[in-house]
Structure 1
Amino acid sequence: PLGHRSGRSRRPRRAVACACVSKSAERGRWSLIRVVRRVRAPAAASARRRRCAATMADVRGLMARVGVSSDKVRRKTEEFIRLANVKCGSMGKGEICKPVACLELACKVCGEPVERKRLIKVCGAPKKTFELAAGTLQAMLGVSPGASRFSELAVTYGCVRLTPFCREVMAAFQKRFLATLPAARRAHADFSRPIFKAAVFFACARKRKVRVDRAKLVASMGVTEAEWRRVLAQVVELCDAEVGVRKAPVDPEGEDALGVEKGEKKAEYEQWKAQMLEAQRGGGGGG
């Protein structure tokens, strides 16, 4: 036909019209998505604010359920919750534990006693989930709730005279611990964590036969039982000469620490018993 150029294929008018319509629809769809995003963003932000406000309002209820009424603890708990929402984000399964874990951390920082069993019961989560969430929260917030000085521990547990001895043992522990490390790792050794001072304090108290509430001490440090046992074992191993507790030696044949054999004690007792029975018989016969 006239007007037809060789080498070019004509595009049908219907196809051109469909392509224009599809492009217009695509542009309209993306415009709609942008509008929806603009509408939803403030709504999502307001929803987050409402959840945060609801969490803050629940702090008083949580504190009443665990028997804590300190305003200082309440303010510190609210502060930790705000920081946790910013730094930690979602904690997965441990998200339900966040308010209660913040309350526990605030109680430790403020020195307010609270039972972890009661907190776990109020939280409604398994024990392992709560412990993992509490440890993660403490690490993310960079909070060390334990006492940072021996004098504070000594005052808390009523044994001020232990302070000089604890400092001597801590110095010996640091020196011997660094000696076990390679030269490249010695510069990175960190003894600022309160758990090291707590382990040294407990070992010194046990050596001097001073009673210290071990469960309370471990709970105040905010560490797991496994970590506490590991650090305490290191202290006792490296400072055995200072804080090692040795039992009374007993030889294989049954001789105790006083040098008197158990067999001789038993023989003496049997001899005394026979004499007493003989005396009773003689007294009865004479009567």
Structure 2
Amino acid sequence: MDRKLLQTTAQRLNVYDEAILKKSEEFIRLYQTKALVKTLDDQAKTVLCLDLAAQLIGSSFDKSVALALCGLKRSAYQNSLNNLEKILGLDKPLTISDGCIQLGCTAIKEDAEDILQKYKQIDHKVKDMDHPQYVAVAIYLACKAKKVSIDKTRLALLSRLKPSQWRELVASFENLGLSKKATRQKNKEINKMEEEYMIETDDQEAKNKQEQEEEEDYEIWKNRILKEAYKELKQRGQTIDSVK
């Protein structure tokens, strides 16, 4: 294995983590021993192994630079990455949790899991639930309902679908009413806020009414006191006139 090529490529990708470099070396060696037909050149193989190692360790990786170094289109790059995962035995099923972490939208994890679970229960024609397309669509619909923005390009790569296939799968989810799952939850939250607002409003109205009643009680008291004072002054005046 060309250690110098690995270090040079890693530097161009701004990858300096020694753990990623060691894991990349391991992947390259495995590829050399397991791949029956070696279709990748040394540069592409090195970039792809660095990408897989960075994903495994959870480090950021510049895909745009990786594409330029490999000289591949985005779809061809992703296909090569998927094949490399299979060769290395890394192609474990994508989970909602993993997908949300990769897309930076962990807040909608539970909603996406609910959507995916409902889809599994309703659509019995599904053959390969391990395919990441279902996870990708569930995450997409949950984000759409909660108005959470995500990287659409990264999502498309995650799904491993062509645009026409993606639209068809999204439509199948929506036709089953699953896109409303997260929306219903959002509506519940809105209704709760409205109920709290109404309670606060009722409390304020009751307080205002009480203050108004107290103010009226004061006016009644004031008028009574004034009347008694006038009455007393009048009686005093009559007493003085009788003395004269």
TM-score w.r.t. length of structure 2: 0.60
Match of residue 78 from structure 1:
25
| Correspondence for 1:243 among 152, 172, 179 | 179
Partner of 2:154: 216
Structure 1 CA distance for aligned equivalents of residues 88 and 98 of structure 2:
26
| Structure in which a larger fraction of residues adopt helix | 2
Equivalence map 1:21-170=2 (5 Å) = 52=1, 54=2, 56-92=3-39, 94-96=40-42, 97-124=44-71, 130-144=77-91, 148-150=95-97, 153=100, 157-160=104-107, 162-170=108-116
Q: Summarize the Cα distance change of 1:159–1:105 in structure 2 as closer, same or farther, 3 Å threshold.
A: closer
Going from structure 1 to structure 2, the CA distance change for 1:129 and 1:201 (only over 3 Å counts) comes to closer
Structure 1, residues 156-189: CA drift from partner, whole Å, max 9, x if none?
62452x23322221111112332x36xxxxxxx3
Distance 2:80 2:178 in 1: 37
Unpaired segments of 5 or more residues in structure 1?
1-51, 182-188, 245-287
In structure 2, relative to structure 1, the CA distance for the partners of 1:232 and 1:138 (3 Å cut) is farther
Amino acid at match of 2:83: T
Contact 2:103–2:154 at 8 Å: present in 1 too? no
Q: What percentage of aligned pairs have identical amino acids?
A: 17
By how many angstroms is 1:81 displaced? Answer: 0.6
Counterpart Cα distance in 2 of 1:126 and 1:150: 28
Find the aligned partners of 2:86 and 2:95 in 1 and give their Cα distance: 17
> Cα offset for 1:90?
3.8
Aligned partners of 2:13, 2:92: CA distance in 1, in Å?
A: 19
Question: Among residues 182, 190, 202, which one is paired with 2:128 in the alignment?
Answer: 190
Structure 2 gap ranges (5+):
181-244
Superimposed CA distance per residue, residues 183-226 of structure 1 (whole angstroms, 9 cap, x where no aligned partner): xxxxxx3323444222211111112222122223344x3x5451
Q: How many residues align?
A: 179
Q: For the aligned residues, what is the CA RMSD? A: 3.2
SS of alignment partner, residue 41 of structure 2: helix
Give yes or no for contact 1:77–1:106 (8 Å, CA) kept in 2. yes
Q: Is residue 207 from structure 1 mapped to residue 145 from structure 2 by the alignment?
A: yes
Q: Secondary structure at the match of 1:169?
A: helix
Structure 1 pair 163–132 and aligned structure 2 pair: CA distance change class (3 A):
closer
Asked whether 1:176 is paired with 2:122, we answer: yes
